[in-house]
Structure 1
Amino acid sequence: MGFFELIGGPGIVMIAISGTIGWVVTTWLKVRHGYPLEGSFGQALKPVINNEHVERIRLLTTENAQMAAELSAMKERLATLERIATDSGSRLAHEIDRLKH
């Protein structure tokens, strides 16, 4: 007895329907989360990349680098403030005196 004879006509229909539903859900999830859609031969279908998108990505990359640098500076300042707040008064006075000279 073969596979198709074992599952019968309704089983084949259910497999086809579940495969189609799976394809639709996968495509919907890709679109919803911004993943590119590809054609049969791997060519990009959506989103279409044009000069406007390339320029926007470049600007966002630059802004991201600037914000990362600013965040790094803020972390250093916060570490200094935490050290000042948790150190004893005499040590802080000693460091201030050392900076004056």
Structure 2
Amino acid sequence: MNVFEMIVLIVLVSTLGSAIMYWIKSKHDKGIDFDELSSELGLSDSYCSKQQMKACLARIDQLEERIRVLERIATDKGTNLAHEIDNLA
């Protein structure tokens, strides 16, 4: 391995490492900036308060969890299907 291959390898590894670190950091950063979110959605302060937005996001999280459960039930081969449906009630 010559010097130029070594330099390319070092640059490649460092770039890949920083990309992985950025991806990991973005996965752990769950903070929501409600001002930024409302501006991205085009909502004014009079239209939807931060408290209402928090309630809507909490409801979305609940619905996503229900969808995950329903998808798991729908893809089940039938062995645990009755048990899962009884647990939903």
TM-score range, shorter chain: 0.3 to 0.5
Structure having the higher strand fraction is 1
Greater RCO, CA 8 A, separation 6+: 2
TM-score scaled to structure 2, two decimals?
A: 0.39
Structure number, greater radius of gyration:
1
